[in-house]
């Protein structure tokens, strides 16, 4: 590997700026980031997901997710002729190590559904927090304040999607943060970074140049449990009607 002096000089200040933001911890997440310029969501492209589990592992690494609990997980559905009535779903350890291989010649097809916090615009979880420890940020990310949370678990009960849990050691509620610490610095989420097929894509609905706008106009897109009217912002392309 050849690192030219020129490249090195370019890198150094960029790394320094990023590192400063990491150390700063100031209310404005990092220089050049204005919360009101963004409204975050995620696009999940079901036909592209191969169930490799990279996203689950990357999330655990990036966010120190405790074993047995999941900020994101992958489900595998078996498409049969009556799977709408009775879906067959598995998620072995959240899909963290992928899924057991299925032999050729069996009945029906399969598909994978990555799940995560939907960062609902009308989230029922933030509604029920008794003290204001969980909230939606001005840029559309539902976050938990671990210094303020009582650990009452009311928000866990209120989430229709099962994306919250109580951290076994910290004893506060925890869940996907849409890698807030990354997206506010121009990076993408850990799960999107690790996905080899582009099945997961971070989306900024306030950015006119974000591909999500064109995608939503040209594809059949759904959210999970639309009847709950949560204003979910995780958009699924090609979501089967049997997905729970």
Partner 1 sequence: MNGVEGYMYPNEITLYWSVLIVLYPFITGLVAGAFILASLERVFRVEAVKPTYRLALLTALAFLLVAPLPLVLHLGHPFRSPEMYFTPHDTSAMAMFGYVYLWYLMAVLVLEIWLDYRREIVLLSQQSKGLLRWIYKVMTLGSNNISARSLHIDERVGWVVTLIGIPSAFLLHGYVGFIFGSIKANPWWSSPLMPVVFIFSAMVSGIAGVMLLYMVLTKMRGQKIDMLCVDTIAMYMFYIFVIDFSLEMLDLIHRIYEADESFNSLNFMVHTKLYFSQIVVQICLGTVLPLLLLFLTQVVKLPEIARKRIYATSGCLAMVGVFAMRWNVVIGGQLFSKSFLGYTTYKMSLVTREGLLAAIALTILPLVFLWVLVKLLPPWPEKSAHQGAAAD
Partner 2 sequence: MSVFKDAGHLFRFAGLFVIAFLIFLVVRHYVVPKSFGQYGHYRGAAIGEIASHPIKFAGHQACEDCHTDIVDVKTKGKHAHVNCEACHGALANHAADPTSVTPVKPDTAVLCARCHTASAAKPKNFPQVDPVDHANGVPCETCHNPHSPAIGADVAAGGAK
Positions 211 through 240 that interact with partner 1 (CB under 8 A): 228
Give how many residues touch partner 1 by CB under 8 A.
Answer: 42
176-188 as b/e, with b when 16 or more CB fall inside 10 Å? bbbbbbbbbbeee
**Rounded least distance, CB 107 to partner 2, Å:** 10
Binds partner 2 (CB under 8 A): choice among 31, 168, 196, 211: 196
Run of H or E including 6: helix 5-24
What residues pair up with 44 in beta bridges, in sequence order?
200, 236
**Rounded least distance, CB 4 to partner 1, Å:** 47
Nearest Cα neighbor of 117 from 36, 185, 173, 47 is 173
Of the candidate spans 114-122, 137-145, 202-210, 216-224, the one that interacts with partner 2 by CB under 8 A turns out to be 137-145
List alpha helices for 25-138, DSSP H.
54-63, 124-128
* CA dist., res. 209 & res. 206, Å (int): 9
200 CB-near residues (< 8 Å, 6+ apart): 42, 43, 44, 45, 55, 114, 189, 191, 192
What residues pair up with 74 in beta bridges, in sequence order?
114
Q: What, of partner 1, partner 2, none, does residue 194 touch, CB below 5 to 8 Å by kind?
A: partner 2
Pair of tokens at residue 201: 């894509």
Binds partner 2 (CB under 8 A): choice among 5, 13, 23, 217: 23
Binds partner 2 (CB under 8 A): choice among 118, 123, 184, 242: 184
Binding mask of the shown chain, residues 209 to 238, with x at each position contacting partner 2 by CB under 8 A: ------------------------------
Nearest Cα neighbor of 40 from 194, 143, 111, 168 is 143
Contact status: 244 vs partner 1 (CB under 8 A): yes
Q: Segment 63-82, which members bind partner 2 (CB under 8 A)?
A: 63, 76
Run of H or E including 10: helix 5-24
Phi, then psi, of 83 in degrees rounded to 5:
-75, -15
- The smaller minimum CB distance to partner 2, of residues 92 and 225, is found at 92
Binds partner 1 (CB under 8 A): choice among 38, 57, 164, 200: 164
**Rounded least distance, CB 127 to partner 1, Å:** 5
Of the candidate spans 153-161, 162-170, 189-197, 203-211, the one that interacts with partner 2 by CB under 8 A turns out to be 189-197
> Residues interacting with partner 1, by CB under 8 A?
69-70, 73, 75, 87, 89-91, 93-94, 115, 124, 127-133, 148-154, 156-166, 170-172, 228, 244
């Amino acid at each position: 590997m050849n690192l030219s002096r020129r490249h090195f000089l370019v890198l150094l200040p960029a790394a320094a700026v990023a590192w400063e933001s990491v150390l700063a911890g100031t209310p404005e997440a990092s220089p050049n980031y204005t919360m009101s310029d963004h409204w975050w969501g995620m696009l999940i492209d079901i036909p592209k997901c191969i169930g490799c589990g990279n996203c689950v592992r990357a999330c655990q690494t990036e966010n120190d997710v405790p074993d047995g609990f999941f900020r994101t997980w992958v489900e595998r559905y078996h498409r049969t002729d009556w799977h709408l009535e009775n879906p067959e779903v598995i998620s072995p350890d959240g899909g963290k190590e992928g899924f057991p291989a299925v032999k050729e010649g069996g009945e029906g097809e399969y598909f994978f559904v990555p799940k995560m916090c939907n960062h609902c615009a009308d989230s029922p979880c933030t509604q029920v927090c008794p003290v204001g420890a969980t909230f939606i940020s001005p840029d559309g990310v539902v976050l938990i304040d671990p210094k303020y949370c009582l650990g009452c678990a009311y928000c866990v009960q209120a989430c229709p999607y099962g994306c919250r849990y109580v951290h076994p050691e910290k004893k506060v509620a925890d869940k996907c943060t849409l890698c807030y610490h990354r997206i506010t610095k121009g990076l993408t989420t850990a799960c999107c970074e690790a996905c080899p097929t582009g099945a997961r894509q971070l989306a900024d609905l306030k950015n006119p140049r974000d591909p999500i706008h064109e995608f939503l106009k040209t594809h059949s897109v759904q959210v999970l449990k639309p009847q709950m009217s949560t204003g979910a912002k995780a958009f699924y392309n090609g979501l089967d009607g049997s997905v729970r």
